[in-house]
Amino acid sequence: MEQLKTIGRELAMGSQGGFGQSKEFLDLVKSIGEARSKAEEDRIVLHEIETLKRRISEPDIPKRKMKEYIIRLVYFEMLGHDASFGYIHAVKMTHDDTLLLKRTGYLAVTLFLNDDHDLIILIVNTIQKDLRSDNYLVVCAALNAVCRLINEETIPAVLPQVVDLLSHSKEAVRKKAIMALHRFYQKSPSSVSHLVSNFRKRLCDNDPGVMGATLCPLFDLITIEVHSYKDLVVSFVSILKQVAERRLPKSYDYHQMPAPFIQIRLLKILALLGSGDKQASENMYTVVGDILRKCDSSSNIGNAVLYECVCCVSSIYPNPKLLEVAADVISRFLKSDSHNLKYMGIDSLGRLIKMSPEIAEQHQLAVIDCLEDPDDTLKRKTFELLYKMTKSSNVEVIVDRMIDYMISINDNHYKTYIASRCVELAEQFAPSNHWFILTMNKVFEHAGDLVNVKVAHNLMRLIAEGFGEDDDAADSQLRSSAVESYLHIIGEPKLPSVFLQVICWVLGEYGTADGKYSASYITGKLCDVAEACSNDETVKAYAVTAIMKIYAFEIAAGRKVDMLHECQSLVEELSASHSTDLQQRAYELQAVICLDAHAVENIIPSDASCEDVEIDKNLSFLNSYVQQSLENGAQPYIPETGRSGMSDTINFRSQDQPEASMHGLRFEAYELPKPPVPSRMHTASLEPSTELVPVSEPAYSRDTHQVATVPSVSDAGSSELKLRLDGVQKKWGRPAYSSSAPSTSSSTSQNTVNGVTQVDAAGSVISKAHKTNDSRKPRVEISPEKQKLAASLFGGSSQTEKRPTTASHKVTKAGSHAAGKKSQAPKSAVVSNQVTVEKTIHQPPPDLLDLGEPAVPSATPSVDPFKQLEGLLDPTQVSSTANHGAVGATESPDIIALYGKTPASGHSSSAAISLPTNGDGVNFTAGLLDATISTTHAGTTLPTQSIKGLNAKDSLEKDALVRQMGVTPSSQNPNLFRDLLS
């Protein structure tokens, strides 16, 4: 409201000589801004809308007046009122030849309409005409409308004009054309699949704004297909290095940071390209390390760039020194007083833990402070970090903290999330069976019915299969502790339904297994549960089945069964229940009690919940019955493949069934009956499927943090045409050429080393200043409780441990549960990741971040790695230098011949064009032109489902027809769009 008042006052002041609007409009804005209630504002707006409806329909309205009316409509739409009666007038204004009116019309249309509005078809022709205009302001206005209004159907109408504008002389037009192509790709990738190479070419544009706009579509393309853009790693590194060195004009600085948004986008792209690729990652180490050391952390945008650098370091192939620098940045984040920086520090720490688990131990007190912080979002992010660093030595403390937090919150969605994490950690790292049972009881008791049903089923399966590896004593102890704990809490009020189901199942299976509790005691408790949950049929069904198991085990053991009065009353009540399921269970209980011990033992064997259920698919147990029926004169069964004479009947039935399912009347005339033609019909598809489809037991979803292994790009394409990178003039900085002359090579290397030494010196001074500032702060005493909590959270070995007798290491008692076990893939992935990091530490690759004193030069001179990364030396020149053993043996390339003007008959090249800016110039990239597009259409075949048989009703009807008549009844391959650029 205050902002509207301010706008009203400014517009009122502008009426003296200003904004070109009438005093009536300025008074309207002022009155709306000074409205004291929403009702008063609505009254003013509705009155003005009625006035506009009358005025805007008058003939011969002056253009200036119509422009003001359209602006009023925009104002009303922004306030939330309907101004659809004036949309057509805004569309008409886009046809005007006056620049001001045309731009006003385009502005109003983009705000009024969406891409599927009926009026879009009326402005397509206008957009086509304006895209060919000589006035670049008109072209820019049309491109803005293209990005907002052109839908998938109208893309082909304007696509050729947009592509032509990529080579426009004005950088603003080229930038908006790139944005329009990006929008086309987002709406319909197939329509611009043949134009993806234009993004590569525009990456070489002389204007930094066009280059920055090109990074957005390239990021989307690289996200989908990484391998096709591996050749751009050197180019992206070169651009990032020039941006970080402030080669761009001052207009791209934001809070004294050089083009930070371009840096962030480049770091995201490098993180994708370097993931699991050692060769590509080595090219990034130097520039990422320089940004981490030199970036200003006094502003929010500087911290954003540092955070993106840490994310990049955690994604590319690990480097020990980069990890150390990233850990220092995280330490500054965690020590900050800002909650936002602490949140970034916790998130960054969670990313680096998968590469270097010991990093978390260096910041244990900071993590505990975040865990006790009143900021709820920071606390939740800290719990995610603790989840990633859980091991067998600290699982008790972490899970207890999670459960306490789960009890204190009211957000059901996040409470469900925390409960699933607690269950998962308890299953994997439980130190003892008793602790596991107690933890699960807490989770079920406090999370209630929010706990997933799969958790309950998995808990029952774990208790049935046991934790021990062929250790019956440990399994018995687990079941006994579960029974004791459930009998202790079974009397508590308001237990969740899922938990009661688990309790009934466990008591029915193992309530009397150890002989500690009698059958009467257990059945009495189960009757109490069924009586307390009179409205929950599922719990009553579990309770009745558990009672039946208890009595069956007693009968099988040869003991006399005396049914309690409560049980008899429950059975009588359920026998007359409206639920057929409860009725059946009650009758089965009565029938089982009347059987002898041998029959009961065969029907309900003891501790057989994990046994395989064998299914006779051939129904061989009916062979004797079938043979006896044949001897008594029954007709033999005729297979469907051997029947004939009922094809017409089957065809009639197959046509009639869909009509019956439609539940509608048909009004067309019936067809004339055709004479029956005996034919044989292959109806293999109608045979009921006798094969069993194995259904894997559901497991919980768990985030596995693995380092993706991406195969490195082969050197097969090294013979392709590439631009040479030496001798290229910078585009925005001072003119500087690199030469490989022998007289300057040694001096250049020495200058580089000296420059790095100076950087190290500056860095050491800064670090000393930080230490001085830290030393001035008063020392805070750490409480013994916090020290104890830190020791319990971060104590023990740094590597992830799992207890050998967990759910993931159980030995199945039957083969059918092999598919339901937890997979060992995450653990193996973590182990392999640790091995990779250890190999990297013990045998580090040639590290480009070692900024110490230079080693003693050997007999064979080496190439400066900074020049090689920046792209100033050609790879062939590097190899030839290494082979000949002398830098002076390499001749300087002909720069004029390589980077001169392109002849008319040759290929186009835009990377060598330089645009001086106040005498300075910078080269973005090289090797980006003449990219050959190779689009691969990969075909995928949809999986076929197993054919199901007829149901029982259809089978009975068909058999009846057979007996009466004595005759026989009778992928799409989508193209996956891939933008593969060589």
Query: pLDDT band for position 232 (50/70/90)?
Result: very high
Query: pLDDT band for position 807 (50/70/90)?
Result: very low
| pLDDT at residue 322, as a whole number | 92
User: What average pLDDT does this structure show over 712-726?
Assistant: 44
Query: pLDDT band for position 459 (50/70/90)?
Result: confident
Q: Which residues contact 69 (CB under 8 A, 6 or more apart)?
A: 52, 55, 56, 61, 86, 89
List the single range of 213-222, 578-587, 629-638, 887-896 with lowest mean pLDDT: 887-896
Of 144, 77, 138, 71, give the one whose Cα is nearest residue 112. 77
| pLDDT at residue 962, as a whole number | 52
Of 100, 94, 87, give the one whose Cα is nearest residue 123. 94
Q: Does 104 have pLDDT greater than 60? A: yes
Query: pLDDT band for position 216 (50/70/90)?
Result: very high
In tens, the pLDDT along 757-784 reads 343 434 443 444 444 444 444 455 667 7
Cα–Cα separations (whole angstroms), residue 341 to 224, 307, 361, 378:
31, 9, 19, 10
Phi, psi (5° rounding) for residue 613?
-100, 110
Query: pLDDT band for position 342 (50/70/90)?
Result: very high
In tens, the pLDDT along 620-673 reads 888 999 999 999 999 888 887 777 655 444 454 444 444 444 455 666 666 676
Query: pLDDT band for position 882 (50/70/90)?
Result: very low
User: What average pLDDT does this structure show over 728-746?
Assistant: 45
CA dist 723 and 910 (Å) reads 11
| pLDDT at residue 675, as a whole number | 66
Q: What angle do CA 478, 480, 483 make, to 5 degrees?
A: 110
Between 294 and 948, name the one with better pLDDT: 294
The domain ranges of the chain are 475-607
| pLDDT at residue 306, as a whole number | 95
Of 279, 356, 245, 369, give the one whose Cα is nearest residue 310. 356
User: What average pLDDT does this structure show over 850-860?
Assistant: 43
Q: Does 542 have pLDDT greater than 80? A: yes
In tens, the pLDDT along 44-63 reads 999 999 999 999 988 889 98
Phi, psi (5° rounding) for residue 358?
-75, -10
In tens, the pLDDT along 883-929 reads 444 333 334 444 334 333 434 444 443 333 333 344 344 444 444 43
CA dist 569 and 522 (Å) reads 16
In tens, the pLDDT along 481-504 reads 889 888 888 878 788 888 899 999
Between the ranges 77-86, 688-697, 797-806, 872-881, where is the mean pLDDT highest? 77-86
Q: Does 977 have pLDDT greater than 60? A: no
In tens, the pLDDT along 162-191 reads 999 999 999 999 999 999 999 999 999 988
In tens, the pLDDT along 274-313 reads 998 899 999 999 999 999 998 988 899 999 999 999 999 9
| pLDDT at residue 494, as a whole number | 80
| pLDDT at residue 6, as a whole number | 55
Q: What angle do CA 337, 342, 344 make, to 5 degrees?
A: 140
Residue 628 has a CB neighbour count (10 Å cut-off) of 10
